Amino acid sequence: MKKIPKPYSVMMEEIKDRLKGKNGIKRAREIQQLLKEIPWSVGDYRRIKDGLRKELKELEVIEQAKKASRSRTKTKKSTPQFAIIGVTNSGKSTLINNLTGTDIPIGSYPYTTIEPQYGALEHDKISFQLVEIPAIYEGCWDGDKSTLGMIHSADCLLIVGRSFDDFKIILKELETQNIELIGNRMDDGFIQTIPRKIPAFLIYDKNTETMPSSHLKKISSEDYVEIKRNMVEMIKPVRIFTMNSFNEIQEQPIVFYNDPITVKDVMQRVTKSKIEIFKDAILLEGGPNGRRKRVGITYELSDNDVIHLTFQK
Cβ pair 202, 219 in contact under 8 A: yes
CB atoms under 10 Å from CB of 127, counted, come to 15
Q: Which amino acid, 184?
A: N
14 plus 58 within the same structural domain: yes
CA distance 78 to 142: 30
Same domain flag for 82 and 229: yes
pTM: 0.72
Are the C-beta atoms of 84 and 90 separated by less than 8 Å?
no
Tell whether the model's pLDDT for residue 19 goes beyond 90: no
Asked if residue 279 is part of any domain, the answer here is: yes
Encode pLDDT of 160-209 as tens digits.
999 999 999 999 999 998 899 999 888 888 887 778 899 999 999 988 88
Structural domain boundaries, residue 61 = 8-71
Please check whether residue 65 lies inside any domain of the structure.
Answer: yes
Residues of the chain with pLDDT > 70, as a percent, come to: 87
Signed CA dihedral, 92, 98, 104, 106: sign only: positive
- In this predicted structure, the answer to whether residue 277 has a pLDDT above a threshold of 80 is yes
Per-residue DSSP letters for 87-106?
STTSSHHHHHHHHH------
- In this structure, are 151 and 279 located in the same domain? no
Domain finish residue from 181, 205, 235: 235
Q: How many domains does the structure of the chain reveal? A: 3
Claim to verify: residue 93 and residue 223 sit in the same structural domain: yes
81: domain CATH number? 3.40.50.300
Task: Give me the pLDDT at residue 9, please.
Answer: 81
More confident residue, 164 or 116: 164
| pLDDT at residue 108 in the model | 46
The answer for residues whose C-beta is within 8 angstroms of residue 300's C-beta and 6 or more apart is: 260, 261, 262
Lowest-pLDDT range, 81-90, 105-114, 199-208, 233-242?
105-114
Shared domain for 228 and 145, answered yes or no, is yes
pLDDT digits (tens, 9 = 90+) for 123-143: 999 999 999 998 998 988 877
Strands 81-85 and 156-161: parallel
Average pLDDT over residues 242-253: 90
| Rg of the chain over all Cα atoms, to the nearest angstrom | 23
Task: Specify whether 105 is located in the same domain as 227.
Answer: yes
In a domain, 2, yes or no: no
What is the pLDDT at residue 112? Answer: 45
Given 71, 89, 122, the domain boundary residue is 71
Report if residue 36 sits inside a domain: yes
> Does one domain contain both 93 and 179?
yes
Single out the residue in 235, 254, 275 at which a domain terminates. 235
* 124 domain-assigned: yes
Is residue 85 located within the same domain as residue 136?
Answer: yes
User: Which of 6-20, 51-65, 175-189, 269-283 has the least mean pLDDT?
Assistant: 51-65
| Calpha distance 113→110 (Å, rounded) | 8
Same domain, 194 and 290: no
Compute the distance between CA of residue 163 and CA of residue 212 in angstroms, rounded to an integer: 9
Whole-angstrom Cα distance, residue 308 to residue 109? 56
Over the stretch 27-49, which tens digit does the pLDDT of each residue have?
888 888 888 888 777 788 888 88
Give the pLDDT of residue 189.
82
* Backbone torsions φ then ψ of 308, nearest 5 degrees: -125, 120
Q: Average of pLDDT values for 222-229? A: 95
* DSSP H helical ranges for the chain: 8-19, 24-37, 43-72, 92-100, 145-153, 164-176, 224-235, 263-270
229 in the same domain as 95: yes
- 254: nearest Cα among 241, 244, 245, 263: 241
Task: Output the pLDDT for position 77.
Answer: 53
SS3 272: helix
∠ Cα 157 206 203 (to 5°): 5
CATH code of the domain in which 260 resides = 3.10.20.30
Residue 195 lies in a domain: yes
Summary mean pLDDT of the chain: 85
Q: Are residues 169 and 298 in the same domain?
A: no
- What angle (nearest 5°) sits at the alpha carbon of residue 293, between those of residues 287 and 299? 85
In a domain, 3, yes or no: no
The amino acid sitting at 206 is K
Residue 1 lies in a domain: no
Cβ–Cβ < 8 Å for 18, 34:
yes
For position 227, what pLDDT does the model report? 97
Residue 152 shares a structural domain with residue 205: yes
Q: At what angle do helices 8-19 and 24-37 cross, to 10 degrees?
A: 150
